[in-house]
Amino acid sequence: MQDHITPRRVVILGGGFAGLFAARALRKSPVAVTVVDRRAHHLFQPLLYQCASGILSEGQIAQPLRGVLRRHHNVRCVLAEATDVDAGARLVHARRPEGGAVVLPYDDLIVAVGMRQSYFGHDEFAAHAPGMKTLDDALDIRRRIYRAFEMAETAADDRERQQWLTFALVGAGPTGVELAGQIREIAGHTLDREFRKIDSARARVLLFEGSDAVLGSFGPRLAHRAARTLLDLGVELHLGTRVTDVSAEGLTVEDRDGRTTRFDARTVLWTAGVEAPAIAAALARATGAEQDRAGRILVEPDLTVPGHPEIRVTGDVMGLNGLPGLAEVAMQSGAYAGRRVRHAVEGRTKEPKPFRYVDLGSAAYIARGRAVVKAGPLHLSGFTGWLVWLFIHLAFLTGFRSRLGAVLSWSVAFATGSRRERAFTMTDSGSGSDSGSASGVDSGTDASAVRAAGPTAPAPPPPPP
């Protein structure tokens, strides 16, 4: 009679892009995989802004994590938030939603916890300016956007009415640009002729950015085209500005000359900056690993933590060669980490090749029929860019229901300007401002953009060659 052999234990922290692709790489390996996430769903973060603006529903961008991994018979899911790592004893300490403790032993640890919203030391801004890193954030932003028009309709005077019809977004990366374009479309097309006292098309959308360009990572040419498109839509660009204060009634910004200006806006949205979650600092303390300014863990070329070959860090929270926090980086690094564990289990002794990221490009949707795409020397914008953007997202929205539903929703929105997902609830009828939810640990990757590849549901397909 053979002795029972305990399979190698692999713990994956995070069920986003990196964690999911790591689990997929271990699907047929003789290992016991435990995926730990504080949410029970896998989120296609790059389309969060479309959920927030009412084009897509929650179910079209989020799938139950257990459903996504149901065919992976060596994988189990644990609903908990990792709080600490004991690198010596090889234990992960986690907290269940109701507060109970979970201790998970591991032989290999893959950290894929993503990043969370950063307010650059001003966490008090979160109550009035929600970020967009989670599904809860997207639904909160949807409520704030559509509520603002309703409140403007019953405003007591013109000043209050204009405050409700002014939307301020902080940060002109892909998320800020995409959301700014969506709000202008809502104001000018979706809500056209629905109100009796207000003209929704007169809503102001203000976009603040500390640098001199929107979508700076796309290069000067596409950044200029994106800025021109935003201006054509009616978005007001305020470049070279820094936010110094945010309240329920608006925000104060400072330009490079030190001049401060106050803008009245009842809806302020934060689309700038990310930082590592607390578990990254805990891992650094436990292993002696270094962190960069945003808290990312600096790793070796094979994604391992120095001195700890059993711990690999992937995705947004990984610090390696200045790689950005993009969906494609998370997918590729997660798959690489999973393969490295699989090869170790199979007894391969050949020196592993270092992780090499293949840049498949970047894409950002601005408005109906207008997007920008950067893929190597290929720079596309306008309608052509939008078609490429559409193809990319259809390729990576896995599962027939998600794809079909997205196509139908996009078709309706493109043809008519209407949005089917506009329902929202009022959480506090006695207050002029929602409390807002500060973004927490990101279980996926940066919602900033999809990199010409950029995920959700049953086993996602591999990236295109």
141: amino acid identity, one letter = I
Find, among 40, 41, 20, 23, the residue nearest to 32 by Cα: 23
Does the CA dihedral 328-334-340-343 come out positive or negative?
A: negative
Q: How many residues does the chain have?
A: 465
- DSSP letters spanning 421-433: ------S-TT-SS
Q: How far apart are CA 269 and CA 130, in angstroms?
A: 5
Residue 243 near residue 257, CB atoms below 8 Å: no
CA 288 to chain CA centroid, Å, is 28
Find, among 271, 266, 243, the residue nearest to 364 by Cα: 271
Annotation says 209 is catalytic: no
User: Per the residue annotation, which of 178, 185, 209, 421 is the catalytic one?
Assistant: 178
Q: How many CB atoms lie within 10 A of CB 261?
A: 11
26: amino acid identity, one letter = L
Question: Strand, helix or coil at 19?
Answer: helix
Q: How far apart are CA 395 and CA 267, in angstroms?
A: 34
Question: Residue 268 class from Cβ within 10 Å (0-12 exposed, 13-18 middle, 19+ buried)?
Answer: buried
E-strand spans in 96-210?
A: 101-105, 108-111, 116-117, 166-170, 204-209
Find, among 433, 442, 439, 51, the residue nearest to 246 by Cα: 433
Q: How many CB atoms lie within 10 A of CB 228?
A: 12
Active site residues: 178
